[in-house]
Amino acid sequence: MKFFSTFLTKIISLLAISVSLCACVKDVDLEQREDIMLGPQVQIDLLIYNIDQSKFMDPETGDLKTRISDTVRLAFLDDDYIQKDLTSVEFYFRHINTFPREIESKIRFLSNENSEQFAVNYTIKPGAEGKPVTTERYELIEEERIDLVRRSIKMVVELEVQPGATAFQGELDFASKGLFTFKF
Amino acid sequence: MWRLLYLFLILCSTVVAQNKPLLFNVDDLPQTLMSNPGAQINFTGHIGIPFFSQIHISAGSTGANLYDIFAEDSGDINDRIQETMRSMDSRDYFSVNQQLEVISLGWKLDRRNYLSTGIYQEMDLFAYFPKDPAILVNEGNSNYLNEPFYFDDVSFTGEIVTVYHLGINHKFDKRLTVGARAKLYSGVFNVESTGNTGRFTTYTTPEGRNVYNHEVVDLNVLVNTSGFAPLKKEANMTVEQATAELLSRSFFGGNVGFGLDLGLSYILDEQFILSGSVQDLGVVFQRKEVENYRYFGSYETSGIEPLFPDLDENDQAIPYWDIFEDEVDRNLRDRTTSESYTTWRPVKANFAMEYGFGPAYLPCHYLSEKKVRYMNLLGMQLSGVKRPKGFVYTFTSYWDRKIDENQRFKLSYSLDDYSLTNIGLMYTRTFNNFNVYLAVNNLLAYPNLAKAHSASIQLGMQLVFNDNNN
Residues of A in contact with B77 (CB under 8 A): 32-33, 35-36
- Helix H or strand E segment including B350: strand B348-359
- Interface-testing mutation among B209, B362, B436, with chain A (most A C-beta atoms within 10 A): B209
Q: Are B44 and B107 in contact (CB under 8 A)?
A: yes
Residue B138 included in any domain: yes
Residues of B in contact with A50 (CB under 8 A): 209
At B283, is the pLDDT very low, low, confident or very high (cuts 50, 70, 90)?
Answer: very high
Instruction: Tell if the CB–CB gap between B403 and A9 is shorter than 8 Å.
Output: yes
B458 pairs with which residues across the strands? B56, B439
Q: How far apart are CA A31 and CA A54, in angstroms?
A: 63
**Least CA distance to A30: which residue of chain B?**
B70
Predicted confidence at residue A59, as pLDDT, reads: 77
Residues of B in contact with A5 (CB under 8 A): 403-404, 407
- Is the Cβ of B138 closer than 8 Å to some Cβ of chain A? yes
- Is the Cβ of A21 closer than 8 Å to some Cβ of chain B? no
Q: How far apart are the first and last CA of chain B?
A: 27
**Least CA distance to B133: which residue of chain A?**
A40
Instruction: Tell if the CB–CB gap between B306 and A8 is shorter than 8 Å.
Output: no
Q: Which pLDDT tens digit goes with each residue over B301-355?
A: 999 998 888 777 677 778 999 999 999 999 999 999 999 999 999 999 999 999 9
Residue B387 included in any domain: yes
Predicted confidence at residue B10, as pLDDT, reads: 42
Secondary structure (DSSP) of B362-400: -HHHHTSS----EEEEEEEEEEEEEETTEEEEEEEEEEE
Residue B97 included in any domain: yes
Q: How far apart are CA B319 and CA B46, in angstroms?
A: 75
Q: What is the DSSP-derived secondary structure letter of residue A8? A: H
- Interface-testing mutation among B305, B316, B376, with chain A (most A C-beta atoms within 10 A): B305
Residues of A in contact with B325 (CB under 8 A): 75
> Is A37-182 a domain of CATH 2.60.120?
yes
Among A52-61, A105-114, B14-23, B195-204, whose mean pLDDT is lowest?
A: B14-23
Q: How far apart are CA B455 and CA B449, in angstroms?
A: 8
Tell me the shortest Cα–Cα distance from B176 to chain A, in angstroms: 31
At A13, is the pLDDT very low, low, confident or very high (cuts 50, 70, 90)?
Answer: low
Q: How far apart are CA A30 and CA A36, in angstroms?
A: 11
Residues of A in contact with B65 (CB under 8 A): none
Q: How far apart are CA B250 and CA B58, in angstroms?
A: 20
**Least CA distance to A95: which residue of chain B?**
B210
Nearest CA to B40 among B273, B261, B349?
Answer: B273
Q: Which pLDDT tens digit goes with each residue over B80-105?
A: 999 999 999 999 999 999 999 999 99
On the 0-12 / 13-18 / 19+ scale of CB atoms within 10 A, A156 is: middle
Backbone angles phi, psi at A156, to 5 degrees: -110, 125
Q: At what angle do helices B131-139 and B77-87 cross, to 10 degrees?
A: 150
- Is the Cβ of A96 closer than 8 Å to some Cβ of chain B? no
Residue B173 included in any domain: yes
One-letter amino acid for residue B93 of the chain: Y
Q: How far apart are CA B249 and CA B190, in angstroms?
A: 13
Predicted confidence at residue A177, as pLDDT, reads: 95
Range of the domain at B442: 2-192+221-289+340-396+417-465
Q: How far apart are CA A51 and CA A98, in angstroms?
A: 11
Give yes or no for residue B361 having a pLDDT over 70. Answer: no
Nearest CA to A137 among A121, A126, A155?
Answer: A121
Which residues, at least 6 apart from A1, have a Cβ–Cβ distance to it below 8 Å?
none
- Interface-testing mutation among A7, A18, A20, A28, with chain B (most B C-beta atoms within 10 A): A28
- The domain locations on chain A are 37-182
Q: How far apart are CA A100 and CA B71, in angstroms?
A: 62
Instruction: Tell if the CB–CB gap between B310 and A46 is shorter than 8 Å.
Output: no
Mean pLDDT is highest, among B60-64, B146-150, B428-432, for B146-150
Residue B323 included in any domain: no
User: Nearest by CB to A8, which of B303, B401, B451?
Assistant: B401
Residues of B in contact with A9 (CB under 8 A): 403, 407
At B395, is the pLDDT very low, low, confident or very high (cuts 50, 70, 90)?
Answer: very high
**Structural domains counted in chain B:** 1
Long-range contacts of B266-271 (CB under 8 A, 24+ apart): B266/B5, B266/B175, B266/B176, B266/B177, B267/B174, B267/B175, B267/B176, B267/B372, B268/B175, B270/B356, B270/B372, B271/B355, B271/B356, B271/B357, B271/B372, B271/B374
Residues of B in contact with A36 (CB under 8 A): 77-78, 81
Residue bearing the bigger pLDDT, A59 or B357: B357
Residue B308 included in any domain: no
Q: Are B422 and B431 in contact (CB under 8 A)?
A: no
Tell me the shortest Cα–Cα distance from B102 to chain A, in angstroms: 25
Nearest CA to A171 among A97, A63, A93?
Answer: A97
